[in-house]
Every structure is written in structure tokens, then in C-alpha cells.
Amino acid sequence: MPTSTFTSASSAVPCPVVESLDAILPEEPLLMMGAGPVPIPAAVAKANAIVINHLGGTMVKVIGQVKSMARYVFQTNSKWVLGVAGPGSAAMEMAISNLAWEGTRVLSIKNGFFSERMAEMGRRVGARVSTLDVADRSVASLEEIAEAIRRERPEIVTVVQGETSNTVWNYHLKEIAGLAKAAGALVIVDAVCTLSTMPLEMDAWGIDAVITGGQKGLSSIPGVSLIAFSDAAWERVKGRTAPNAHWCLDASLAENFWHNAGYHYTAPVSGVLALHEALRLVCAETLEKRFARHLKCSLALQDGVAAMGLRLYTPEACRLNSVVGIEVPDGFGPADVCSHISRMHQVEISGSFGLPIVRVGQMGEQCREHNLFRTVHALGRTMVDLGVKVDLPAGVAALERGLSGAR
């Protein structure tokens, strides 16, 4: 009798028949050249396979090193560096939900999809959010930003360093932070795709909160992110009267784990170890050399794409180097290109939220010469296969000239 009871209970929802990962995953891993996640170094993959006690002495040491390496990458001496279990958007929500609440005046410089996300998070905590809407493929002038700050008198200004969606680079970031500071506002910067790919100096530029994800510039795994608050921002966090409605993202509770070796929630230990290794590799390379590698690779990629006859989406003055936007030829959609290049050439690239472009990332491990040759070749071949007229040899030659410094 017990047996039959057991059988009927377990057959109410029958056990599914599924395939093993070996059967699902491609035989050769796809080369991840889209807008993230990006390929991870072997040291990161190895660390990601380890589970340790999240409150033990080893973890305390790891956390201490993660914070000090993160301070170097953020270029800050602020004590208030914390990790977040969650995507870049969770770090974003940690910044917004701890610094803004009912009635807070927030000015959001909106360049596209991701900068709009910060505005939306502000609205959701009850802040009075105004947006400075910037036309696609351009940045706001400093005059427009100064005028918006005068008009809105924000307590907080949010801005993205690299707007991954339309591949625009806010190259005025330092000056924008200066304008906001002078008006007494705190500045939150989304550096999810740009951190460690191009200069960002949190302290010297007067930034109050910087957020990043793991899976882009840092070349770690997705799901563990980093945030840094300035002293002024931390004071605001500590001075708020109503508690943050997001319990997991409450910076005061997270302080317990990230600064006092105590418990908040079970930390994603494997992901933190992976992040440790990713940061260690950034430190071993140094920021200067890493920025130079990214710049050289991205410019060579752009040369290669343009030389084969495709058009880059963003004008050079505000073109993001961390993710390159490429116009899709007439008669095709981004999905046609992305699915062909993936299926036929095992290279993954991205579309972009309704824009007529495909995007190729230049973040972390994506900026390697062998990956670039394979990607430019695969993209050119895809165009040929689709019947688009391109000069692939000219593209490969331009890439080589860019990489060998003969640009």
C-alpha cells in the first residue's frame, strides 16, 4: 500500500524527460562576442567551480581583497565598496533604492534603454524623477545639462558612462559630475559595460555611486556585481529615516557582510571567488595597459567593419568603444544576422532592443586579437552568405593594420 500511495503522489506531476547539458550545448562553445556576457578566463572559471563557507576566515580574506582590488578599479579610496548578489541591474537598484525615496528629486540623463532603467527605478521608489531626453546617437551638451540642473534642482543625478543599447559614450562624464556636485547633487554612474575598459576616476571626478556588473568589462560571470558609495553618499544612506523597502539591497544590511564579516544573506560564494580572480587579472594587467588594449582592439575592429563596407551606427565623437554598433544592411533585420553568424560560424553577437543594428562587444576577454579575426571574418562571411556586397579581405586587412599599429 505505501508503494502505491507513493506512486500516485509522484505521478500527479510526472517526472519530465529532459536532455543532458551535453546534448543541449554545442560541441564547440560559441564565441561570446555580443553585448555580454563575455568569455571568462580559465582562472575565473576555475574559481567559479568552488564552494566555501560564506562566513569563514577564508571568505573574510577574499572579501577584503575583492574590496581593495575594486577600489583600484573604481579609482576610489572610499571604504564603502560592496558586492551584490545579482545582475548589474541589482547594483543599479541598490544605488537608487538606498539614495532615493518618496519625494527625492532625481534628474536622469537619458541616453537610451539603460539610463532610462535608472529613471524607472527612481519612479518605483517614489522619487520625483525628471529626465533629460537625449536624441539617439548623441550626448547632451554641458549647457543643456547645466540648464536641466538649474531647472530641476535635483538631489541626485543619474548618468550612464557607456549606453550599451545605442552604443553612445558620455565622454563628458567628469564635467557632468562637476556640474552636479557644484549644485549640491549626488551623482550615480552606471559603469556596467565600461568599467575597466576605459578611464573612470570615481574620487577625482567627484562621483558618489558607481555600479558595475560582473559579465562585461570585468570578464567575470553574470550574477555578482559591485557598487561603491562615496562618503557623502554613505552619509545619506545612513541618515535616511524610512528603511529601504528592498531588504536584500539594503546597503546598511549588506554592510554587515561586506564590512563586518557577519550575515546578511548567503553570499554567492562561487561568484565572489570568480570576481576575485577577474579583479586579480585586472590588477595584474594594470588599468593603463587594459585601457590601451581595449582602445587598440576596438578601433581596429571599427576599422575592419568600416573597410568591409558596413556602417558604424554612432558618430565618432560619441562612439562607445566597449560595444560597437553596426548598421544592418537594408532588407535584413538584426535577428537574420545574429542567427546566421551563430549557426554557421559559432560566433554570438547581439541585436539591440528594436534598433536596426547588431552589436559586437569589446569588453575584457573579447579584446583579444584571435577573437577579433574570427569575428570580423564571421561577420563578413555572414554578409556574403546573406547576399550583401562587402569587401571582406579589405576588412581583414584593416583589422590587421589596426592591431599591428599601422593604422
Ligand X SMILES: *Cc1c(COP(=O)(O)O)cnc(C)c1O
Applying CB under 6 A, the residues found at the interface with ligand X are 36, 87-89, 114, 160, 162, 164, 190, 192-193, 213, 216
Bridge partners for 212 per DSSP: 226
Which is closer to ligand X, CB of 274 or CB of 399? 274
CA distances to 23, 160, 230 from 206, in Å? 51, 15, 9
Query: What whole-number distance in Å separates Cα of residue 173 and Cα of residue 396?
Result: 34
CB of 226 to ligand X, least distance (A): 12
Set of cell numbers at residue 62: 577574499
Distances in Å between the Cα of 253 and the Cα atoms of 82, 129, 208 are: 11, 26, 19
CA distances from 322 to 74, 138, 231, 236 (A): 17, 16, 29, 32
- Closest distance to ligand X from the beta carbon of 399 (Å): 24
Provide the minimum distance between the beta carbon of 51 and ligand X in the complex, in angstroms, as a whole number. Answer: 22
To the nearest whole angstrom, how small is the minimum distance from the Cβ of residue 210 to ligand X?
12
* C-beta of 36 vs 39, nearer to ligand X: 36
The distance of closest approach from Cβ of residue 53 to ligand X in the complex, given in angstroms and rounded to an integer, is: 27
Q: State which residue, 89 or 219, has the beta carbon closest to ligand X.
A: 89
Q: What's the helix, strand, coil split of the chain in %, to 5? A: 45, 15, 40
Q: How far apart are CA 61 and CA 346, in angstroms?
A: 39
State which residue has the least CB distance to ligand X. 88
By beta-carbon proximity to ligand X, the closer residue of 294 and 345 is: 294
Cβ proximity to ligand X: between 114 and 257 the closer is: 114
Alpha carbon distance 193, 211 (integer Å): 10
Residue 202 or 399 having the CB closest to ligand X = 202
Question: How many Cβ atoms are within 10 Å of 142's Cβ, its own excluded?
Answer: 13
Q: Are 223 and 214 in contact (CB under 8 A)?
A: yes
Q: How far is the CB of 193 from ligand X (least distance, A)?
A: 4
Q: Is 406 helix (H, G, I), strand (E, B) or coil?
A: coil
Closer Cβ to ligand X, 190 or 250, answer by number: 190
Q: How far is the CB of 36 from ligand X (least distance, A)?
A: 5
The C-alpha cell 571568462 sits at: 40
